[in-house]
């Protein structure tokens, strides 16, 4: 056989072995980076949805706060199957003080804060043995109630 052909075959074989050894290290690193990207995206979605839901809950009558918060959270993210949520349940919308005292028959501003928690479940696309396949995140936001009750008093 020609000496050049033998050298070329050795170099090709060595290159394939180096490529395989490099991929053994590179593939898990890429998988971890993809998982971290999904976790960060899930956390950002959860924080933004919770903030928007708390803002919506604080801007209307306290009796309807949950309905407004859940509606905003449900509409805030329509994404892939990897991120489930944000989810807000009735017990996740609370007030300080609970319940907020009504301003009276002449209307006025409510005094207090609304506290909203939201939950997101992120399914990792490439779970590694050291990480659970699903990650759950909870966000909490607190806003001052900005709703002003209208005057309902009548003149006799």
77: in domain: yes
Chain mean position to CA 135: 11
CA distance 23 to 11: 18
108: in domain: yes
88: in domain: yes
- Would you state the pLDDT for residue 142? 93
In contact, 69 and 93? CB cutoff 8 Å: yes
Q: Which parts of the chain fold into alpha helices (H)?
A: 3-58, 65-76
Residue of 61, 55, 63 whose CA lies nearest to 144: 55
Instruction: Please compute Rg for the chain using Cα positions.
Output: 28
Please give the tally of structural domains in the chain. Answer: 1
Q: 85 lies in which domain range?
A: 3-149
155: in domain: no
156: in domain: no
CA distances from 3 to 7, 8, 9, 12, 133 (A): 6, 9, 10, 14, 53
- Would you state the pLDDT for residue 1? 56
Chain mean position to CA 16: 42
126: in domain: yes
- Would you state the pLDDT for residue 133? 87
Residues of the chain short of pLDDT 50, as ranges, are none
135: in domain: yes
Residue 120, Cβ neighbours under 10 Å: how many? Answer: 25
CA distance 143 to 95: 10
Q: What is the DSSP letter of 102?
A: P
In contact, 49 and 77? CB cutoff 8 Å: yes
90: in domain: yes
């Amino acid at each position: 056989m020609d000496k050049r052909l033998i050298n070329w075959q050795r170099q090709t074989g060595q290159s394939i072995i180096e490529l395989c050894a490099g991929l053994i290290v590179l593939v898990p690193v890429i998988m971890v980076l993809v998982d971290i990207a999904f976790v960060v995206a899930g956390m950002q979605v959860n924080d933004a949805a919770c903030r928007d839901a708390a803002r919506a809950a604080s801007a209307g009558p306290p009796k309807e706060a949950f309905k407004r918060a859940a509606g905003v959270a449900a509409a805030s993210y329509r994404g892939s199957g990897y991120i489930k949520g944000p989810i807000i349940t009735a017990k996740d919308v609370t007030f300080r003080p609970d319940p907020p005292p009504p301003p009276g028959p002449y209307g006025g501003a409510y005094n207090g804060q609304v506290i909203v928690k939201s939950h997101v479940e992120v399914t990792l696309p490439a779970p590694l043995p050291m990480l659970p396949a699903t990650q759950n995140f909870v966000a909490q936001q607190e806003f001052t109630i900005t709703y002003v009750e209208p005057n309902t008093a009548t003149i006799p």
